[in-house]
Amino acid sequence: MKLLLSIHKYDVFMFTWLVNAKIHRTLSNISRYLSKTGDGQLYTLIIGLLYFIEGIESPLLRAILLAFLLERPIYFILKNGFKRNRPEAALKNFRSIIKPSDKFSFPSGHTSAAFMMATLVGYFFPVFMIPLYGWALLVGFSRVVLGVHFPTDTLVGCILGVSTAFFSLGQVI
């Protein structure tokens, strides 16, 4: 319990420092757009294009579908099991910039899905690996800037996304 309290204190410190930084207003404007790229429409488009171009036999398509079949239930179990309040509910006098789609913050689903897709697409197209991980990192960072996640929410989202991607690749390849 003491460890969790220490982690939470660190999270609040880092979160508060970021939202009070002079550059926060500029970051929040950019973060709105970055966060939207992780909403899911891009993933649906990629899945549709892969199915249209390569069919269900596409190893990338199969890895993506398996990864989402694993990642989403794990994400929901963790989120509803830990029931960690979002910054707006946990911190007095703080309002997030956007309205989140659900009540709890741990782990970050946007971050998890972004790192999962970055890992899977980067595996099949290695030349894009660094830009994809840069994008996934920015999606996670944007969720903190927008005030809907603490830093460790996005860290665990990253771990969840990469882990499910590697597991899926192991099953498909």
What is the C-alpha R_g of the chain?
17
Structure tokens at 149: 């996640």
Domain 2-172: top CATH class: mainly alpha
Per-residue pLDDT, averaged over 53-62, amounts to 94
pLDDT tens by residue, 106-157: 999 999 999 999 999 999 999 999 999 999 999 999 999 999 999 999 999 9
pLDDT tens by residue, 66-102: 999 999 999 999 999 999 989 988 888 888 888 888 8
Q: How far is CA 23 from CA 20, 48, 106, in A?
A: 8, 38, 26
**Cα 106 to Cα 103: distance, rounded to the nearest angstrom:** 10
pLDDT of 1: 66
**Cα 9 to Cα 145: distance, rounded to the nearest angstrom:** 18
For the ranges 11-15, 17-21, 51-55, 111-115, the lowest mean pLDDT is seen at: 17-21
- Name the residues annotated as catalytic: 110, 149
pLDDT of 46: 95
The pTM of this model reads 0.91
Q: Where are the domains of the chain?
A: 2-172
